[in-house]
Amino acid sequence: MGVLEQVIQQLINGISLGSVYALIALGYTMVYGIIKLINFAHGEIFMIGSFVGYFFNTSFDLSSKITARWPAMEGTFSVYFIDIIATIGVAMIVCATLGMVVERLAYKPLRGAHRVAALMTAVGVSLFFQNLAIYWIGAEPKGYPRLLPSQNYNFLGATISNRQIMIVGSTILLMVLLQYIVHKTKMGKAMRAVSLDKDAARLMGINVDATISFTFAIGSALAAAGGILYSSTYGRVEPLLGLLPGLKAFVSAVLGGIGIIPGAALGGLILGISEAGVSALGYSTIRDAVAFAILIVILLIKPTGILGKNVREKV
């Protein structure tokens, strides 16, 4: 494989990984944009979404039920497509509901408190979910069912798998849907109004509490989708699955500009491509350190992130 093919290969690997970071980072940046809270429990929502998909897939075995009813569909793309949609859909619904419950029980009572109180509560919720998963499920990693049989394609001399296509395609679809919700729907307009000024939005008749809950639901649903795509690709799930990807997604959100939706997507892609490049050069053991080093360098040059803008505050 020549140099150009190797570069293309690492770009493919990086975009695939960065797409997962972007999905998780969107939840961070949306919540921060609305209530200025860093929801460190978001990585655990990613983990729970992955486990929901795992138990749904192993318990119901939807593809086997479909082929038993319609034998002619066995091995066809339609069966796998239905299985993927059902697994991701169930996980997104469960995690969206969980996100709203967490917001109402853990964060809403602290909305008027100091930011440190809310931040420490987020850390506490994160540890609670981690230990709850260890207690109920066990600490040992579990093999994750493959939602697609492995198949590789040649692309400009590089190799791209159908799972990578699934990750990137799903991420693009979800991001387009998110942009539509934010810019074209009534609730999306309410989200933008609340992010600018909660008090003014309330005076205009916007239900601020419902808008915040909806934001948590959307962010949690995206994290769940990321958990399914990540685990089905790497073939494992465990209670601490969301720890490192969650931190890297937070780095992605800050890197692109916290509170800015396109910035979260851009930051995730930059981080994923950087990690793939470092691994290709033979330094995979320090790729996590490189991710945080990139963040430090960007913040030294542009503290608000790549797409962030300086905001003056009156004191």
Q: Identify the band that residue 30 occupies on the pLDDT scale cut at 50, 70 and 90.
A: confident
pLDDT at residue number 92: 93
Q: Of 95, 43, 64, 51, which Cα lies nearest the Cα of 224?
A: 95
Coil, strand, or helix at residue 43? helix
Query: Do 248 and 20 touch, CB atoms closer than 8 A?
Result: no
For residues 212 and 189, give the distance between their C-alpha atoms in angstroms, rounded to a whole number: 12
Q: Which residue has the higher pLDDT, 38 or 185?
A: 185
pLDDT at residue number 77: 67
* pLDDT > 70 in the chain, percent: 95
Identify the weakest region by mean pLDDT among 15-24, 85-94, 129-138, 283-292. Answer: 283-292
φ and ψ of 306, to 5 deg: -60, -45
Asked whether the predicted pLDDT for residue 32 surpasses 90, the reply is no
CA 113, 115, 117, 123 torsion: positive or negative? positive
- Please tell me the class of the 3-301 domain: mainly alpha
Range 189-200 average pLDDT: 88
Asked whether the predicted pLDDT for residue 313 surpasses 60, the reply is no
How much is the CA Rg of the chain, to the nearest whole Å? Answer: 20
Domain ranges in the chain? 3-301
Write out the two tokens for 62: 């939807």
Asked whether the predicted pLDDT for residue 314 surpasses 60, the reply is no
pLDDT at residue number 311: 52
